[in-house]
Structure 1
Amino acid sequence: MTEEALLELTKKKNTSSPNDRIKELYARLSTQQRDFLGLQLSQALDFSSLAPFLNIHLNNLGDPFVSNCATLNTREMECEVLDHFAGLWHAPGRVPLDPDSYWGFLLTMGATEGNLYALWNARDYLAGDPLMHGGSGEKNRVPVLFYSEDTHYSITKCTRLLQLETFHKLGNGLYPGLCPITKDGRWPDGIPSCDGSIDPKHLAALVDFFVARGYPPIVFLNVGTSFKGAYDDVESVWQALLPVFERHGLRIRATENERQDYWVHIDGALGAGYLPHLEKAKALGLTEERVPIFDFRLPYVSSIVTSAHKWFGAPFPSGVFMTREKYRLNPCAQAQYVVTPDSTLASSRNGLSALILWYAINNSVGDTPARVASRCARLADYATRRLEKIREWHPGFWVKRASASLAVRFPTPRSEIFERFGLSADGGASHIFIMPHVTRSMVDALAEALSAPNAFEGCV
């Protein structure tokens, strides 16, 4: 809906009673929800039994593992949810003060909050700021961030908020014309990717350039990009980076007395929730999809985030951040009156988020999550094949799907179709995401609409 249309709608409705407005809004959103295909937002949710909690302020204040005076909380559920994700991501169990133990918290916003916190932690860790449990660090180093051209647009906001140097900004500022991966030496905005997945060789060349000049790297990888739903191959990235690190004498493993000289962060907004269940589905023989490994089984992974409202289907943005205890920085403050370290990004956090994610996890047990994941993978394959038939009516029509992705891309149709199915667009391409609520009949309805003679009328 355009801003003008929204303003006009507001003018028409401002004389209605609040209850009438709510009824009209619910009717409109319920209609939109039935055909919603465009963004990676699961609509398979039923939290009606939690409605009474809307009348209780639930505040998970401060560190989830430290009790405090905010007794109206769901910290017990939050810790259980964190334990669940530690299991999904093969992290060691939570043992206070154990350097390899996991630590994390549930996000009040989506994965962007977790990405911001991870980059903040990475910047200050590599710059030598004090850690929770000691360990020396070289002072005053300037970390540099590396990310692909398919990274979520919020990366720009995060780097500006943190005043974090990126390879693009630093390259243009100090080393113009010297980019090692372009013919003319210009620095690209993001590292080139192949159908959404970062190019490990180009990444390694750029990291080599800056490490040779004394800049420790922060490597930001995607496990389910926002538009293409693609996965960076974390293991291949490490195989490309390791010789660079060894050649320049970077510390590969953190010890009790020394820090490592890099940070690898995984933005798994969608994929970090979906892939563990797809991996289980493959073990059960329910799918043949290739499932990339991205989690804490890989000792070089420093932090991971996921969004609860994407794969798991929370009714509002929320998510999970997780790292290892040995990477934690000293909290900025510990307010005596709340009796808890201020160790998260948002001091007050949404306790309802923890309750909703706990409820979703505990109502999807056994092999049900694996079966849902395998069904979505099969449906993504079906959607690709179904949409390919549209070439019979529109010869210039094309369909693309990255390996194991839940996103299927195609040319952007006219506005009526675009709005009906809640599509999103980028550079003349639109996509659908096969989330748990999507059915074959929804895919067929889209295919039928796209097959109409005027489906692309008026499109550039």
Structure 2
Amino acid sequence: MIKNLKSEDLAKLDQLEKYLDEKSNHFFGYPCTFDFDYSPLQKFLKYPINNVGDSFYSGGSYQINTHSFEREVIDFFAQLLKAPINNYWGYVTNGSTEGNLYGLYLAKRIYPSAIVYFSEESHYSIEKNINLLGIKYEKIKTQKNGEIDYEDFKQKLSLHQHLPAIVIANIGTTIKEAKDDVMKLRDILDDFNIKDRYIHCDAAFCGSYAQFITPKPNFDFTEGADSIIISGHKFIGSPIPCGVVIVLKHNKEKVSSFVNVIDDLDDTITGSRNALTPLILWCAIKAFGAEGLRERFFNCLELTEYTFDKISKLGIKVWRNPNALTILIPRVNKELQYKWQLATHDDITHIIIKPGMTKSMIDTFIIDLEKETQKDLADVF
């Protein structure tokens, strides 16, 4: 098919490649990794692969799929997140927004009258998904570091303690990479004697490495999580947005339904599902393994400390959460923001260190940053 493109069409594709290559060298504000090469998977682009249905179900009449690879991906992350043996299930999503939607959807199906509690620094997909599902909610204040305010959580919980609770725990907030403590949230629910509860962990960026942090954040299945999502195109790296959602199998089985047309279970948000992204994630976990992810994290942590030190020496106010790969500085001007693709919120601009970044990139950025007018963030940090 591509052989039939005109020369001007091919030139447009070449121009796009140059544009993307240049932009990838100035990509500091978003947690998407770019140190990958999945070109060996190109040969699968000639098949109409579709992961419709449940990859853990033994049936299914649509068989041009990568279900077996998807199962291996889910098994890997279930083990990483300490899911109970023989009581977990999951699938590869189109991204963390879908993963968050699935967690909320599952929780709502189990507890239709529940109130959702989430912090004001949760990812914007949380509130959007809550509105899509039509669930009542309470938005919780946060501490200065971005972590949920447990006292405000108690206060909001007291207003509805007769109702089931769906709690969203952030394991790395969007702006400050703050991590909520699932065990604290669980203990508060216990104090209010709320037995009908569901805790969903949004660990989009940090989920791939949070188990290697010291002290380790409390967020996995042994510590009270009912579902956890991880993004595939962020810390791990993928040319296609994707993610993983892991849930307790006994909860998933409460909402499963059988579909005759595919002779399979319908457990997921979408019907047709991307079958390339499970291959991408499979390649990544085979290449890295848990130890490789650990090494990637510590390499990034070292580069984060290098970057933090370089910015501090400029006399610019700089701050980060302990062991975070996200660095906060005063809001930069639009020119610098767009050149380096920096995410900015209110008075804060943040820089996210991820695999693929180098000291050379950092040094080039520092030269530009030095020209930026110094601002005072005393009221922010």
Picking from 183, 193, 209, the partner of 1:274 is 209
CA contact (8 A) 2:106 2:255 kept: no
CA contact (8 A) 2:314 2:370 kept: yes
CA contact (8 A) 1:68 1:339 kept: yes
CA drift at 1:193 = 2.9
Partner of 2:124: 153
CA contact (8 A) 1:268 1:304 kept: yes
The two structures have a TM-score, normalised by structure 2, of 0.92
- Tell me how far apart the structure 1 counterparts of residues 38 and 95 of structure 2 sit (CA, whole Å): 19
- Tell me how far apart the structure 2 counterparts of residues 229 and 316 of structure 1 sit (CA, whole Å): 23
Partner of 1:256: none
Picking from 278, 283, 296, the partner of 1:372 is 296
- Tell me how far apart the structure 1 counterparts of residues 164 and 192 of structure 2 sit (CA, whole Å): 12
2:268 aligned with 1:344: yes
2:134 aligned with 1:163: yes
Picking from 425, 428, 433, the partner of 2:352 is 433
Unpaired segments ≥5 residues, structure 1: 1-14, 96-100, 128-141, 168-188, 252-260, 280-288, 392-396
Partner of 1:135: none
Unpaired segments ≥5 residues, structure 2: 1-5, 376-381
- Tell me how far apart the structure 1 counterparts of residues 39 and 149 of structure 2 sit (CA, whole Å): 45
- Tell me how far apart the structure 2 counterparts of residues 217 and 293 of structure 1 sit (CA, whole Å): 19
Partner of 2:306: 382
| CA shift digits 1:13-40 (9 cap, x unpaired) | xx98221111111101101102211101
Partner of 1:181: none
Picking from 211, 215, 228, the partner of 2:163 is 215
CA contact (8 A) 1:331 1:342 kept: no
- Tell me how far apart the structure 2 counterparts of residues 39 and 366 of structure 1 sit (CA, whole Å): 23
2:74 aligned with 1:124: no
CA drift at 1:366 = 6.7
CA drift at 1:416 = 2.9
2:84 maps to amino acid: P
Structure 1 residues 198 and 372 mapped into 2: Cα distance closer, same or farther (>3 Å)?
Answer: same
Partner of 2:88: 102
Partner of 2:283: 359
2:149 aligned with 1:199: yes
2:320 aligned with 1:334: no
1:197 maps to amino acid: E
CA drift at 1:53 = 1.3
CA contact (8 A) 1:306 1:320 kept: yes
CA drift at 1:237 = 2.5
Partner of 1:265: 200
- Tell me how far apart the structure 2 counterparts of residues 335 and 328 of structure 1 sit (CA, whole Å): 16
Structure 1 SS opposite 2:76: helix
CA drift at 1:220 = 0.4
Structure 2 SS opposite 1:321: strand
CA drift at 1:241 = 3.1
CA drift at 1:428 = 2.8
| CA shift digits 1:349-375 (9 cap, x unpaired) | 101010000011111147332111111
2:61 aligned with 1:69: yes
CA drift at 1:190 = 3.8
CA drift at 1:405 = 1.3
- Tell me how far apart the structure 1 counterparts of residues 367 and 217 of structure 2 sit (CA, whole Å): 34
CA contact (8 A) 1:414 1:455 kept: no
Matched residue pairs, number? Answer: 369
Structure 2 SS opposite 1:194: coil
- Tell me how far apart the structure 2 counterparts of residues 84 and 330 of structure 1 sit (CA, whole Å): 24
2:39 aligned with 1:48: yes
- Tell me how far apart the structure 1 counterparts of residues 90 and 247 of structure 2 sit (CA, whole Å): 6
Structure 2 SS opposite 1:221: strand
- Tell me how far apart the structure 2 counterparts of residues 190 and 53 of structure 1 sit (CA, whole Å): 46
CA drift at 1:308 = 0.4
Structure 2 SS opposite 1:408: strand
Structure 2 SS opposite 1:146: strand
CA contact (8 A) 1:221 1:266 kept: yes
The two structures have a TM-score, normalised by structure 1, of 0.77
CA contact (8 A) 2:140 2:149 kept: no
- Tell me how far apart the structure 2 counterparts of residues 323 and 416 of structure 1 sit (CA, whole Å): 43
2:12 aligned with 1:27: no
CA contact (8 A) 2:169 2:182 kept: yes
- Tell me how far apart the structure 1 counterparts of residues 175 and 46 of structure 2 sit (CA, whole Å): 37
CA drift at 1:236 = 2.5
2:163 aligned with 1:239: no
Between Structure 1 and Structure 2, whose CA radius of gyration is higher?
1
Structure 2 SS opposite 1:106: strand
1:201 maps to amino acid: E
CA contact (8 A) 1:290 1:404 kept: no
1:55 maps to amino acid: K
CA drift at 1:452 = 1.8
